[in-house]
Amino acid sequence: MDSRIGNLYPSSKFTFIILIILLSMFVPGFIFQYMIFLFIFLISLFSGTAIKFLATFMKSIPILIIFIFIFQVFLIVNEDSQQIWAFIHFSQIGLMTSLTMTSKIVAISSSIIWFFQVTRVKDIVYALEQSGVSQKVTFVIASTIQLIPQMLNLSRTIADAQKSRGIETEGNLFVRAKAFIPMIGPLVLSSIQQIEERVLALESRAFSSKAKKTSIYELKKQKFDYIIMIFCILVLIVYIVWRIKL
């Protein structure tokens, strides 16, 4: 994560992707939206997250796109559909629909992926707290994010413990299904157990104190944050005015 983009205030980056999302939704056609993808890719190159960005994007989005194309172009029957074979048709309208649809998905998903790759969860939590979101909400967000890797570790240990008892946890679907209860059981039971202990531990750190909370972590808005925000809002206004005039 490039420190200059990483250290921007979350709401600046958030305003930026909101602008991108709005524009992708309202600009007609699909060329602009696909350009957005290239643009976001360039920004992630600049943010130092390009490889991570491509990896995450490629793992999830292309499958969805291919699915939409097949569905729209070959399966759904439009006015201009021409039968190819049995239930398979080709439709020019379908092709256009899928291009518009997928271009929006690509633009929006790529900007969201980029946002989460260049913004620390802790910054989001901090920004939420500063903007007055309840401590309980931010606690849930922060603890969920921190605890997911711990749950993964725990499930690995449980798998090992059950394997040592002769329970097969690897193999075909049937074998895995049989191992489901021995795997999930301890995970649920010990998680409940841990919650009880964690409640006490949090209470020992004055969790329920009525005082106004402070934060040792600090993130300040920089000049650049204001520039981005103003820029984004200006672009949005210019676009709206331009559309209305048309």
Partner 1 sequence: MSYLSLKNVSYSYANGYEAVQNMNLDFDLGESAAIIGQNGAGKTTAVKLMNRLLIPTEGEVFVNNLSTKKATTAEISKMIGYVFQNPDDQIFQDTIYKEIAYGLKNQKLESAVMKNKVEAAAEICGLKESLNEHPYNLPYSKRKFITIAAVLATDPNVIILDEPTAGQDRESIERLGKLISHLANQNKTVITITHDMEFVVREFKRVIVLANKQKRRDASPREIFWDKELLKLSDLKQPFICQLADTLGYKGILTIEELLERDKNETYYN
Partner 2 sequence: MSIISLKNINYTYPLEEKQTIHSFSLDLEKGCVYGLTGANESGKTTICNIIRGFIPELYKGELTGEVMIKGKNINDYNIGDLATIIGYSFQNPFTQLSGVKDTVYEEIAYGMENIGVSRDKMIQKVNEILKMFQLEDLIDKNPFELSGGQKQRVAIASVVALDPEIIILDEPTSQLDPKSTEDIFEIIQLLKKQGKTILLVEHKVDLLAAYCDEILLISCGELVMQGPVKEILSDPKVVEYGGQLPQVALYFIKKAEANGSSASQVPLTVQEVYDHLNKDGEA
DSSP, collapsed to helix, strand or coil, labels residue 221 as coil
Residue 154: Cβ within 10 Å count: 16
User: In this chain, which stretch among 49-57, 67-75, 145-153, 164-172 interacts with partner 2, using CB under 8 A?
Assistant: 145-153
- Is 12 exposed, middle or buried (CB count within 10 Å of its CB: 0-12, 13-18, 19+)? buried
- Determine contact, residues 41/53, Cβ cutoff 8 Å: yes
Return the residues of window 201-220 that contact partner 2 according to CB under 8 A.
201-218
188 binds partner 2 per the rule CB under 8 A: no
Q: In the complex, what is the shortest distance from the CB of residue 164 to partner 2, in angstroms, rounded to a whole number?
A: 20
Question: If residue 175 lies in a helix (H) or strand (E), which one and from where to where?
Answer: helix 173-178
Residue 1's binding partner, choosing from partner 1, partner 2, none, with beta-carbon cut-off 5 to 8 A by kind? none
Residue 157's binding partner, choosing from partner 1, partner 2, none, with beta-carbon cut-off 5 to 8 A by kind? partner 1
Angstrom distance (rounded) from CA 10 to CA 120: 8
For residue 102, the one-letter residue type is T
Q: In the complex, what is the shortest distance from the CB of residue 227 to partner 1, in angstroms, rounded to a whole number?
A: 41
Binding site for partner 1 (CB under 8 A): 154, 157-158, 160-168, 181-182, 184-186, 189-190, 193
Binding site for partner 2 (CB under 8 A): 122, 139, 142-143, 146-147, 149-150, 194, 197-218
